[in-house]
């Protein structure tokens, strides 16, 4: 489910990219 959430955020656009690096760093690493 995490992968889907990450993909959804990335597809959402650059809007989530701002806090993506701040609060979703762990998620990004997990997906990568």
The predicted-structure confidence for 1-32, as pLDDT tens digits, reads as follows: 677 666 766 665 555 455 555 555 445 544 54
Give the predicted TM-score (pTM) of the model: 0.23
**Looking at the 3D structure of the chain, how many domains does it have?**
1
CA distances from 12 to 6, 20, 25 (A): 10, 11, 17
- Which residue range is the domain that position 6 belongs to? 2-31
| Residue 29: predicted pLDDT | 47
Question: Assign residue 13 a region: left if phi > 0, alpha if psi is -120 to 50, beta otherwise?
Answer: left
């Amino acid at each position: 489910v995490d992968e889907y959430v990450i993909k959804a955020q990335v597809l959402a656009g650059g809007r989530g990219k701002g806090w993506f690096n701040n609060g979703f760093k762990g998620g990004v690493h997990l997906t990568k």
